[in-house]
Amino acid sequence: METYTSSPSSPTDAPVGSGGLAAALAWLDAAVANLAAVDPAQEPDLQLATSYLDAERLADQYDAVRLRLLATVDARGAGGAEHGVMAPTAGWLRANLRMSPHVAAQRVRTARALHRGPLPTVAAALAAGEVSYAHAAALADATHDLPPARVAEADPVLADAARRLDPPRSRRVAEHLRDLVDPDGADERTRRQLDKRGLWLAATVDGLDVRGLLDPETGEAVQAALAPLARPAGPEDGRSAPQRRADAIGELARWALRAGDLPQEGGLRPNVNVTIELASLQAQTGLGGTGGWGGVLPPETVRRLACDAIITRAVVRRRPHHAGLDGNDPGATGGDGGPAAELREAASLLPAPLGAPLEMLDLGRSTRVVPSALRRALALRDGGCVAQGCDRPVPWTEAHHVVHWAHGGPTSLENVVPLCPPHHVNAHEDGWEFQRDPATGRVTLVPPARLDRSDQRQRPPPAA
């Protein structure tokens, strides 16, 4: 077995506490190098196992020393002294050790609680190698906003719990003690905890990025619902636990959609809506489909979904339609040469297996209510709110008559557009105007180009 011999003195010969911190760290550096020179593969199993457990205990004791050093640095405000400046302790750690903000803040909070705060018994247990840094950090986090005097009373109980339990269970004990230590602050802590909740969804190239924080009650409900669906499907199931949970969330969503009990959104029952070219659906090209929320699905995924889905055929006009914004169109109600006649003629050419019954998209003056078929056509044509600069998707929109039905406007594809609620208010109450692009026929809602008489500045559009 090789040993490290380049140090002037053997680590075991160094007197305890001699020479200050610099000498002690040099001695520790030599000891670590000595340990690193040992080949663990040459050790017998018993020695290997016991040595690792000893190493973990020493690491816990070293963490105790590090936290004591950090608490002293923090107490003196010595962070940045190596450059002759004063810096916040957490920021100093981040700048020099490339720590994340969370880790740096937790490290400082734990050092303060153990060596300058109400958890000295926990600090002693860490120094003795009886608990780990993870235990100490969990207890410091769970008690940092409680009255220090009351935490000091619970300190021996918390240390004893940490000696017997793992860090998550130790934190649970501390959280139970919170209501006993500070019963008057329980309601305020619950409110603050609830205020932190949130769910953030962001579309990416790879799919949907989901991040969030749930309150304890909601978290329990979600985990209880996911548990039976996230179990391995069998011994051959190679999915990781995060993958199984992701699949379980998808299954929960599909169950809710199939049940049909969700409230309507934009006048339609919630469904997964995907638009794909006919050639792609028939495997003639490699283009994928587009979901109602803007996600891009691979073509084979869309073909799989089509095995058990209602397929609505939509004929898209590739040339602009030049009907005016007054809704007047000689052929809009189904006359010869109008869009309804073109639709019937084009739909008759589609393969029969793809065909759902032909649905009229022009109801003229017979009804003000926009039917589901027309709403689906709006989703396909516009993709979301037509207000300038708005990216609200179709499920967050309402159908709006460009020429109001009460003023003679028909319920037709040419006279109806999707608007999100804020821009729907703009169209009715704030004088926003519709413009049709002569090249594409697309209708856009734009803010009025007039001056605010109060300050003679152009009125900015309200946020969507």
Contact 123, 137 (CB under 8 A): no
> Which residues are CB-neighbours of 6 under 8 A, at least 6 positions away?
30, 33
3-state secondary structure string across 200-230: EEEEECCEEEEEEECCHHHHHHHHHHHCCCC
d(CA 246, CA 253): 11
- Residue 454: what pLDDT? 42
User: What is the crossing angle of helices 167-181 and 148-164, to 10°?
Assistant: 150
User: To which residue do tokens 């000295």 refer?
Assistant: 120
pLDDT at 361 over 80: no
Nearest in space to 250 (alpha carbons), one of 295, 187, 196: 295
pLDDT at 329 over 90: no
Residues in the chain: 464
User: What is the crossing angle of helices 167-181 and 133-143, to 10°?
Assistant: 20
pLDDT at 99 over 60: yes
Q: By three-state DSSP, how is residue 15 classified?
A: coil
What ranges do the domains of the chain cover? 39-192, 198-259, 274-306, 360-458
DSSP secondary structure string for all residues of 158-200? HHHHHHHS-HHHHHHHHHHHHHHH-GGGHHHHHHHHHHT-EEE
d(CA 273, CA 237): 30
Contact 200, 211 (CB under 8 A): yes
Contact 398, 428 (CB under 8 A): no
Phi, psi for 206 (deg, rounded to 5): -90, -10
Say what the pTM is: 0.51
pLDDT band for position 126 (cuts 50, 70, 90): very high
**Enclosing H/E stretch for 416:** strand 416-419
pLDDT band for position 123 (cuts 50, 70, 90): very high
**Residues 239-281 pLDDT 10s:** 898 999 988 888 888 777 776 666 665 555 556 666 767 666 6
Q: Which amino acid is at 101?
A: P
pLDDT at 335 over 50: no
pLDDT band for position 41 (cuts 50, 70, 90): very high
- Residue 428: what pLDDT? 86
If one counts every other C-beta atom within 10 angstroms of the C-beta of residue 413, the result is: 22
pLDDT at 390 over 60: yes
pLDDT band for position 382 (cuts 50, 70, 90): confident
Contact 362, 412 (CB under 8 A): yes
> Which residues are CB-neighbours of 119 under 8 A, at least 6 positions away?
113, 136, 139, 140, 143, 151, 152, 155, 158, 159
pLDDT at 359 over 80: no
Task: Summarize the confidence of residues 403-416 as an average pLDDT.
Answer: 81
**Residues 60-85 pLDDT 10s:** 999 999 999 999 999 999 998 988 88
> Which residues are CB-neighbours of 37 under 8 A, at least 6 positions away?
2, 3, 4
Distances (CA, A) of 397 to 179, 375, 460: 45, 10, 22
Assign domain 360-458 to its CATH architecture: Orthogonal Bundle (1.10)
Contact 322, 441 (CB under 8 A): yes
d(CA 66, CA 366): 79
- Residue 331: what pLDDT? 41
- Residue 54: what pLDDT? 94
The most confident of the ranges 276-285, 350-359, 411-420 is 411-420
- Residue 131: what pLDDT? 96
pLDDT at 144 over 80: yes
Task: Summarize the confidence of residues 35-64 as an average pLDDT.
Answer: 94
CA angle 52, 55, 60 (to 5 degrees): 130
Average pLDDT of the chain to the nearest whole number: 78
- Residue 75: what pLDDT? 94
d(CA 64, CA 127): 5
Q: In the chain, pLDDT over 90 holds for what percent of residues? A: 30
Higher pLDDT, 337 or 282: 282
- The maximal CA–CA distance of the chain, rounded, in angstroms, is 105
How far apart, in Å, do the first and last CA atoms of the chain sit? 71
- Residue 313: what pLDDT? 62
Nearest in space to 445 (alpha carbons), one of 405, 404, 388: 388
- Residue 206: what pLDDT? 77
